[in-house]
Structure 1
Amino acid sequence: MVLDVLIYTVARILLVVVLVAAIYFGGKALGITEFPIVIPMLFAIVLALPLGIWLFAPLRNRATASIAVFDERRRRDKEQLRSRLRGDQPPQS
């Protein structure tokens, strides 16, 4: 699970970095001399939000599936622990 989420997170961050570079150097190529880096950063973050959802859908789906499996396992373990604490017979799975 951690690896899938980490890969998705790194991909989203790299997308922002690439967009920042493209916007910054694109502005420089257009002849804008005073171009603070904050402006491309803000535009890149805004553009990366919807673009990342579209581009990285398979990564997001894999991370979501991993989290769902982890949550199901945690829920089942919690249910078994509560059952044992009550003194009931744990459910057989």
Structure 2
Amino acid sequence: MALYVAARLLLVAVLTGVILGVGHLIGLREFPLIVALLFAFVLALPLGIWLLAPLRRRATASIAAVDERRRRDREQLQARLRGEEPPTP
């Protein structure tokens, strides 16, 4: 999950640099950083869907595994509290 978040932030940083670079190439020497950053956020949303799809799938799978483990642990705890034999995985 942390790798996916870092990749998204890196994508925004790269896009900000590209926007500022293009601004300098076309003669806008005083292009505001905040404007470039906002454009980068807007562009990074759809680009991240396509470019970071494998990372997103890995993050989703790891979250699902954690949820499954928590669900199993909760079922075992509830069974023990009822005095039953906890289900085996």
* CA displacement at 1:35 relative to structure 2: 1.1
Is residue 9 of structure 2 the alignment partner of residue 22 of structure 1? no
Find the aligned partners of 1:36 and 1:62 in 2 and give their Cα distance.
Answer: 36
SS in 2 for 1:14: helix
Note the C-alpha offset of 1:38.
0.5
Percent pairwise identity? 61
Moved beyond 4 Å, runs of 4+: none
Question: Which of 78, 82, 86 is the aligned partner of 1:82?
Answer: 78
Unaligned runs of 5+ in 2: none
The alignment's TM-score, normalised by the length of structure 2, stands at 0.95
Of 17-26 and 27-36, deviating more is 27-36
The structural deviation recorded for 1:61 is 0.4
CA distance in 2, matches of 1:76, 1:47: 40
Tell me, yes or no, if structure 1 residue 64 matches structure 2 residue 60.
yes
1:73 match: 69
**CA RMSD after TM alignment:** 0.8
Secondary structure of 2:88 counterpart: coil
Structure 1 length-normalised TM: 0.91
**Structure 2 residue matching 1:22: 3-state secondary structure:** helix
Q: Which has the higher contact order (CA 8 A, sep 6+)?
A: 1
Aligned residue type for 1:11: A
* Counterpart secondary structure, 1:81: helix
Q: Which residue of 1 aligns with 2:8?
A: 12
Is residue 53 of structure 1 aligned with residue 32 of structure 2? Answer: no
Gaps of 5+ in 1: none
Using the TM superposition, name which of 81-90 and 46-55 deviates more: 81-90
